[in-house]
């Protein structure tokens, strides 16, 4: 699998949105198309794991509830790979659940189950 890495100069990285075991996620801005984006900076992992994630995202592209992977970039000095996703504004579930009525809680749990 050959990866076409994009130009890191097209992106600005702003504040941190979150982190996980294998990555840190930042709010960003794409200069080339003037849109907000999300930049996922991967921690050092085997290249097979990176390729697998890229293949999965490409296979799921266009499916329902799938965030679009817009670009793949590498930091120039350290060669750390980064995934660039479209930005989708959302509300944290912690703040959302506290405003639910009794009926909304029951409905939400029903849909989950």
* CATH number of the domain to which 101 belongs: 3.30.200.20
Q: How many domains does the chain have?
A: 1
pLDDT tens-digit profile, the chain (113 residues): 677 787 788 888 889 988 888 889 999 998 888 899 999 988 887 888 888 888 888 888 888 888 888 888 888 788 888 899 998 887 777 777 788 888 988 998 898 88
Confidence (pTM): 0.75
Is 34 inside a domain boundary?
yes
Which domain covers residue 31, as residue numbers? Answer: 8-112
Distance, in Å, from the CA atom of 62 to the CA atom of 44, rounded to the nearest integer, reads 29
DSSP state of 61: T
Q: Are 49 and 83 in contact (CB under 8 A)?
A: no
């Amino acid at each position: 699998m050959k990866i076409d890495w994009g130009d890191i100069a097209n992106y600005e990285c702003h504040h941190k949105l979150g982190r996980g075991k294998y990555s840190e996620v930042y709010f960003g801005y794409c200069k080339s198309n003037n849109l907000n984006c999300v930049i996922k900076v991967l921690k050092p992992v085997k290249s097979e794991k990176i390729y697998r994630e890229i293949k999965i995202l490409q296979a799921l592209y266009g499916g329902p509830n799938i965030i679009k992977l817009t670009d793949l970039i590498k930091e120039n000095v350290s060669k750390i790979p980064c995934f660039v996703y479209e930005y989708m504004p959302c509300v944290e579930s912690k703040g959302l659940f506290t405003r639910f009525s009794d009926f909304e809680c029951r409905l939400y749990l029903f849909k989950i189950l």
